[in-house]
């Protein structure tokens, strides 16, 4: 994968400690998917914030990943700000909002994040069931379907060899 790297010092203060100059690191990855990563780092307090942007315009896409064994949890996903995620077996639907940020994670990382936000996603009785089922999924005892639905077409999946998944491109509406 080819990439370019650029580092700049900006005359902008850190939002955490107010240090007068913050560093911006820009990485552009050229293949297989072209995307840009901007990382702002404060050299004083270490605060950092990352932003990811896809550089291509694409058709809407739906990835359906079949998690049949524990190693499938290592499937790498890039979720664009326009992507929705669903895991029907867990009763989980996470729709994008105006505040959704791009993120690179794994299916396992997504499940762990959902577990940490269970109170915001479910009622108390639903949360107990979700936590038990998620724990079984993380230990490889529950097969499930991970659906990444992106109207912008910018999301992508990098599955391990042997992981079963489907890609469906949809017509622009």
CATH of the domain at 139: 2.60.120.1040
Nearest to 40 by CA among 24, 53, 51: 24
Q: Could you tell me the CATH number of the domain that includes residue 28? A: 2.20.25
Same domain, 85 and 146: yes
Looking at the fold, whether 156 and 118 belong to one and the same domain comes out as yes
Quick check: 162 and 71 in contact, CB under 8 A?
Answer: yes
Residues 44 and 69 reside in one and the same domain: no
* Residue numbers of the domain that contains 80: 61-169
For residue 67, pLDDT over 70 is answered with yes
Q: Are residues 50 and 72 in the same domain?
A: no
pLDDT in tens, 119-153: 888 888 899 999 999 999 999 999 999 999 999 88
* pTM of the entire predicted model: 0.71
DSSP label at 160? Answer: P
């Amino acid at each position: 994968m080819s990439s370019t790297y650029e580092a700049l010092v900006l005359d902008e203060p850190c939002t955490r400690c107010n240090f007068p100059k913050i560093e911006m690191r820009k990485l552009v990855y050229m293949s297989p998917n072209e995307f840009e990563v901007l990382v702002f780092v404060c050299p004083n307090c270490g605060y950092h914030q990352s932003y990811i942007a896809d550089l291509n315009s694409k058709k809407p896409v739906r990835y359906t990943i079949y998690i049949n064994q524990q190693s499938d949890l290592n499937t790498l996903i890039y979720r664009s700000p326009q992507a929705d995620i669903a895991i029907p077996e867990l009763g989980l639907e996470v729709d994008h909002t105006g505040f959704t940020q791009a993120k690179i994670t794994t299916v396992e990382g997504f499940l762990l994040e959902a577990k940490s936000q269970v109170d915001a996603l479910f009622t108390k009785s639903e949360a107990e069931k979700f936590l038990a089922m998620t724990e079984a999924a993380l230990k490889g005892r529950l097969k499930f379907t991970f659906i990444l639905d992106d109207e912008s077409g910018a999301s992508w999946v990098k599955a391990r060899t042997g992981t079963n998944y489907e890609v469906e491109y949809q017509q622009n509406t």
